[in-house]
Structure 1
Amino acid sequence: MKNNSITIKQQEAHDLPAIYRLIEEAFASVQESNHREQFLVTRLLSSPGFIPELSLTAWIQNELVGYILLTEIEILSDSTSMPSLSLAPLAVRPKFQKQGIGAALIKEAHKRACQLNYETILVLGHKDYYPRFGYKKAENFGITFPFEVQPEFCMVKELTPGAASRAAGQVKYPKAFFEY
């Protein structure tokens, strides 16, 4: 990665203005975006599902270049509720994209989620990007989403082998994901 070393650390309160600017920049030209991801982050950071250890920033020297947030959600079946995580958003400053920063953030987030004993992570994301990190179509495990979206964009990552099959059911997102 071009002689730049990345430092990944837990987000601190004073990082928030820079995180919001980074998210705006990262999603500015994304056609599928509603360009309100920074407001989603504001809501998620104050929601009951917020886990400070899973709100991560990536830095090159003193410049914020990337951000990832994993928030707790549930997968509901007829008989049980299984905690899971939702990956949203992942953002990398445009001039630093395609340099491995997003990959480094995802791998670190996975590692920290495992340390916190989470077994699965769900993402609504690019069908060609996330599979390289072990994400598979959620529908293959009987996991459904509470809204209309093409199945190839709905994916699950097993942090524990077999966990996605045990999680079969409908994803329940906290209301913070939907408020505007």
Structure 2
Amino acid sequence: MSITWNTRVETSSDVAPLRTITREAFGREYEVEFLDALRADPVAWIPGLSFVATTPNDEPIAYALLTRCHVDAVPVLSLGPVAVLPPYQNQGAGSAAVRAALTVARTREEPVAVVLGHADYYPRFGFRQATTFNIHHPQYDGPNLMALPLTHHPVPAGTLTYPVTG
């Protein structure tokens, strides 16, 4: 059975439910605190780039967040966290939120999105190992650091830095 999930931009009423989704999906507070730090950071946080997947009655059950980071001095996007309530995992809700976020990122003419995540999950969206593009991070180089060109703009090469470290 295939489910079509509703997706939309996060609203202020979603903040608490997204914290709950994060806590339940990851099973700890670390990622919740990281999410809070991203929201509070004026460099990282970009209004309109947090997307939720909802049930038919508009209950958030998954989300994907894009924030600002840099490759050398070039502003790029970072995908994550991406989280899904456990009862809804493996049903496409997280993928729907990721696709919605990436679709909007492409309209913003962002050059690339990076993600530090599961090497088996993110290639379905077109992500490839970041070192393929000469994007490096001093701590995270390897198969879990991936990049996705979003537009015709050249992909910047250099060192990846995050304004908020988690």
TM superposition score normalised by structure 2:
0.91
- Quick one: which amino acid aligns to residue 67 of structure 2? T
Alignment match, 1:43 = 37
Determine the structure 1 residue equivalent to 2:165: 177
Report the CA distance between 1:61 and its aligned residue: 2.4
2:61 equivalent in structure 1: 65
Q: Which has the larger radius of gyration?
A: 1
Q: Distance in 1 between matches of 2:15 and 2:122?
A: 26
Segments of 4+ moved more than 6 angstroms = none
**CA offset at residue 5 of structure 1?**
4.2
Provide closer, same or farther for how the CA distance between residues 141 and 150 of structure 1 changes in structure 2, counting only shifts above 3 A.
Answer: closer
Kept after mapping to 2: 8 A contact 1:72/1:85: yes
CA distance in 2, matches of 1:118, 1:10: 18
Is 1:55 aligned with 2:50? yes
In the alignment, structure 2 segments of 5+ residues that lack a partner are: none
Structure-1 residue corresponding to 2:157: 168
Counterpart code for 1:132? R
1:130 aligns to 2:122 (yes or no): yes
Show CA shifts across 1:125-145 (max 9, x none).
101110111000111111101
Instruction: Report which stretch shifted further, 10-19 or 87-96.
Output: 10-19
What pairs with 1:20-99 in structure 2 (closer than 5 Å)?
Answer: 20-28=19-27, 35-48=29-42, 49-62=44-57, 63-76=59-72, 81-99=73-91
Structure 1 unaligned runs (5+)?
29-33
How many aligned residue pairs are there?
164
Secondary structure in 2 aligned to 1:151? coil
Q: What's the CA shift for 1:89?
A: 0.2
- Length-normalised TM-score, structure 1: 0.85
1:144 aligned to 2:136?
Answer: yes
